[in-house]
A and B are shown apart, each in its own frame.
Chain A
């Protein structure tokens, strides 16, 4: 740990740790809602389903800067949501929590898409069978659907985490790039490239980025394979 810390400058190390914290929180916080929305879109018919679907996908198709600006308007200290939350002590603007929010919003559609596909692959007849055996809807979900969508869920988490790690446009627009507060890996790399002589620092951070991404990918492959073996009845 200390060797790495020595290899990376304090500011670079800060950016790496901040990015990990922001991405992990963003992914974990978005996951329950993503599972719920994915399940609802896959299984339920309800009025306004198309609108919900479009809203979920919006961050994927909007320019990130636009998403970041919208977040700033909504969740800034003077925004309608941000102002209200400030009353109870929750502040997003120019804090790491804001970076996590931006990352979560950007990662959300990717997570929903991956999880929705795996929910659609689960035969609803199995859920029916569970219901006749006495399982309530919630128990059906916990004992049948959830274990069977686990591979898709892991894929969604990795995609979401990768997106959160790489998020730049919305984050920098919403919470700027304050070292130690909101300067994540991508914004740090960008900042280093703006200063003369910062290329080596940028290169080190790039290598760290690649290492984190590959580790996450390998880990997810491993987990997904084990989960798929179980779900496939082998």
Chain B
């Protein structure tokens, strides 16, 4: 368990943050410029906060009130930087081995072979970083952090410097870190999709404060919390893979309701999480017929949230979990959507993108 409490003056605003990161992946979620990177730098020991206390598993890393400060090289935090920061004068193998030299003998270590296999970087070992693509660099950076026998992985928007295709290539490796290595992680992101796929716990930062902390499903399903903006809103459903169909679809069982997705590479029985973008959901008061959309979730309106604009955010409770739908205020009025109203959420199968589907 990592506990963080800090105050730090930044240009334009003050950071005042308290949170706890239980085992698993804790995602610091918020727009750019809300102080996320500052928090992770304080945890790593790269920045001294004006005031604060950071402790990991009971060991104090920093406590300004007592003048305690553990320098970064003694913290054993595996930091994956936004831009990789591989050492240009060393080969990939030497980069990977760098942290191994300094890891304490007694620390639980991953073997180079396992990490190389996990990240698929075997063919790169003899190259120098200057000859690697962005995605390859980031995989090596993950491996380098992992091999320093860290007590925790810190990842600062590790995908933001990559294009969409590379993001989709790297994200599964973080899932493997979470599921196969089981190392605790603090992960900074402004992307709802990354939160949906990785987070065990989400800490939402806004204007230098913790706005909300909870599980990924709780936080993403809360219409009041939209740090990435209303267009990126979307709830998270947990479902079990039921079967794969021969026409390229995967059928999930989401609380008894069938949910069809474009085929995914998960065995029947495994649990997946699916993010349903709020603006991809259509609402209907009656069970629609003769409709091309395959996914129809019966539910009850839990809450209707309107702002100054033309839109409204409707949260529904369905057997599959909470679903958010972004509709116009006009439609909400025409359909008589108010708390307690029965309605159906309609989701096109093809609107669920691969980056919205994650393991566990």
Selected interface stretch from A36-44, A74-82, A127-135, A155-163: A127-135
B102 contacts A126, C-beta separation under 8 Å? no
If the complex has contacts A128-B46, A139-B102, A234-B130, are A133 and B144 also in contact, measured as CB distance less than 8 A?
yes
Least Cβ–Cβ distance between B66 and chain A, in angstroms:
23
A130 contacts B87, C-beta separation under 8 Å? yes
The answer to the question of B88 belonging to the interface, with a C-beta cut-off of 8 Å to chain A, is yes
The answer to the question of A47 belonging to the interface, with a C-beta cut-off of 8 Å to chain B, is no
Selected interface stretch from B69-77, B167-175, B204-212, B351-359: B69-77
If the complex has contacts A133-B98, A133-B102, A234-B130, are A125 and B81 also in contact, measured as CB distance less than 8 A?
yes
If the complex has contacts A131-B71, A133-B144, are A233 and B129 also in contact, measured as CB distance less than 8 A?
yes
If the complex has contacts A232-B130, A234-B130, are A132 and B87 also in contact, measured as CB distance less than 8 A?
no
The answer to the question of B135 belonging to the interface, with a C-beta cut-off of 8 Å to chain A, is no
The answer to the question of B128 belonging to the interface, with a C-beta cut-off of 8 Å to chain A, is yes
Give the residues in chain B near A131, CB-CB below 8 Å.
45-46, 71-73
A133 contacts B81, C-beta separation under 8 Å? no
Chain B CB within 10 Å — which of A123, A129, A143, A231 has the most?
A129
Residue of B nearest to A227 (CB): B89
Least Cβ–Cβ distance between B14 and chain A, in angstroms:
24
B73 contacts A134, C-beta separation under 8 Å? yes
The answer to the question of B347 belonging to the interface, with a C-beta cut-off of 8 Å to chain A, is no
A134 contacts B76, C-beta separation under 8 Å? yes
If the complex has contacts A148-B89, A231-B89, A233-B128, are A132 and B78 also in contact, measured as CB distance less than 8 A?
yes
B81 contacts A230, C-beta separation under 8 Å? no
Give the residues in chain A near B154, CB-CB below 8 Å.
132
Assembly CA distance A126 to B102 (angstroms)? 16
Give the residues in chain A near B129, CB-CB below 8 Å.
233
Assembly CA distance A137 to B145 (angstroms)? 18
A132 contacts B77, C-beta separation under 8 Å? yes
The answer to the question of B79 belonging to the interface, with a C-beta cut-off of 8 Å to chain A, is yes
A132 contacts B46, C-beta separation under 8 Å? yes
Give the residues in chain B near A123, CB-CB below 8 Å.
85
Assembly CA distance A33 to B79 (angstroms)? 33
Give the residues in chain B near A148, CB-CB below 8 Å.
88-89
Interface size class of A (residues with CB under 8 A): 20 to 34
Assembly CA distance A25 to B131 (angstroms)? 40
B88 contacts A233, C-beta separation under 8 Å? yes
Give the residues in chain B near A128, CB-CB below 8 Å.
46, 72, 85
Number of interface residues of B (CB under 8 A): 31
Assembly CA distance A126 to B144 (angstroms)? 13
Give the residues in chain B near A135, CB-CB below 8 Å.
73, 98, 102
If the complex has contacts A134-B102, A231-B89, are A129 and B130 also in contact, measured as CB distance less than 8 A?
no
Q: Which of A134, A137, A231 contacts B148 (CB 8 A)?
A: A134
The answer to the question of A147 belonging to the interface, with a C-beta cut-off of 8 Å to chain B, is yes
The answer to the question of A144 belonging to the interface, with a C-beta cut-off of 8 Å to chain B, is yes
52-111 of chain B: CB within 8 A of chain A: 71-79, 81, 83, 85, 87-89, 98-99, 101-103
Q: Which of B71, B73, B89, B98 contacts A147 (CB 8 A)?
A: B89
Residue of B nearest to A139 (CB): B102
Residue of A nearest to B129 (CB): A233
Chain A CB within 10 Å — which of B81, B102, B103, B130 has the most?
B102
B79 contacts A129, C-beta separation under 8 Å? yes
The answer to the question of A136 belonging to the interface, with a C-beta cut-off of 8 Å to chain B, is yes
B46 contacts A231, C-beta separation under 8 Å? no
Map CB proximity to B onto A212-234 as digits: 1 under 8 Å, 0 otherwise. Answer: 00000000000000000011111
Assembly CA distance A206 to B150 (angstroms)? 61
Residue of A nearest to B76 (CB): A134
A136 contacts B81, C-beta separation under 8 Å? no
Give the residues in chain B near A232, CB-CB below 8 Å.
88-89, 130
The answer to the question of B44 belonging to the interface, with a C-beta cut-off of 8 Å to chain A, is yes
Assembly CA distance A214 to B102 (angstroms)? 43
Least Cβ–Cβ distance between B123 and chain A, in angstroms:
17
Give the residues in chain B near A129, CB-CB below 8 Å.
79, 81, 85, 87
B89 contacts A230, C-beta separation under 8 Å? yes
Least Cβ–Cβ distance between B135 and chain A, in angstroms:
17
Assembly CA distance A132 to B103 (angstroms)? 11
Least Cβ–Cβ distance between A68 and chain B, in angstroms:
41
Chain A CB within 10 Å — which of B79, B98, B145 has the most?
B98
Assembly CA distance A139 to B71 (angstroms)? 14
Map CB proximity to A onto B304-320 as digits: 1 under 8 Å, 0 otherwise. Answer: 00000000000000000
B128 contacts A134, C-beta separation under 8 Å? no
Residue of A nearest to B99 (CB): A133
Least Cβ–Cβ distance between A136 and chain B, in angstroms:
5
Give the residues in chain B near A140, CB-CB below 8 Å.
73
Q: Which of A126, A136, A230 contacts B73 (CB 8 A)?
A: A136
Interface positions of B (Cβ within 8 A of A): 44-46, 71-79, 81, 83, 85, 87-89, 98-99, 101-103, 128-131, 144-145, 148, 154
Given A232-B88, A233-B130, 13 new contacts (CB under 8 A)? A123-B85, A129-B81, A131-B72, A132-B46, A132-B73, A132-B78, A132-B148, A133-B73, A133-B99, A134-B73, A134-B74, A134-B76, A137-B73
Cβ contacts A to B, 6 pairs, < 8 Å: A132-B75, A132-B78, A132-B154, A133-B73, A133-B145, A134-B76
In the A-B complex, the 3 residue pairs with the smallest Cβ-Cβ separation, listed nearest first, are A134-B102, A233-B130, A233-B88
